[in-house]
Structure 1
Amino acid sequence: MKLLVLSLAVLLLVSHLRPGDAQRCWNLLGKCRHRCFKKESVYVYCTNGKMCCVKPKYQPKQKPSWLF
């Protein structure tokens, strides 16, 4: 009975994993990839050396240089 419960728990955990899912970055709003999609841009780099691809709407706005 314990083996059955353990195997069901393992199957439940494995079913929630998505195969090929990229590592998350930038407050979980970006994904670490070798290349970004057309509408994404690079803001920082991930710890594994890949680019953190983030959609422009999630990137911080840069202040104009003429403001103090």
Structure 2
Amino acid sequence: MKLLLLTLATLLLLSQLTPGDAQRCWNLNGKCRHRCSRKESVYVYCTNGKMCCVKPKYQPKPKPWLF
């Protein structure tokens, strides 16, 4: 029984550590990827050279120029 519980706990922990999970960026609102989905756009680049894909609602609004 103890071996079964140990196996289940190990499998649960390993399922949380997925290797394909993307690195977070832009105040944890974006993900570092090679390609962005249609609903995302690139605002900055990550430290690993990938694009930081962020949904438009999380990007800052451009301010108008004041002369």
Task: Mark yes or no: TM-score above 0.5.
Answer: yes
The amino acid that maps onto 2:42 is V
Counterpart of 2:10 in structure 1: which amino acid?
A: V
Paired position in structure 1 for 2:12: 12
> What root-mean-square deviation, in Å, do the aligned CA atoms of Structure 1 and Structure 2 show?
2.1
Structural mapping, 1:1-68, within 5 Å:
4=3, 7-66=7-66
Unaligned runs of 5+ in 1: none
Q: Distance in 2 between matches of 1:13 and 1:27?
A: 26
* Identity rate, percent: 78
Give 5+ residue unaligned stretches, structure 2: none
TM-score by length of 2: 0.74
SS at match of 1:52: strand
Paired with 2:35 and 2:13, the residues of 1 have a C-alpha distance of 30
TM-score normalised by the chain length of structure 1? 0.73
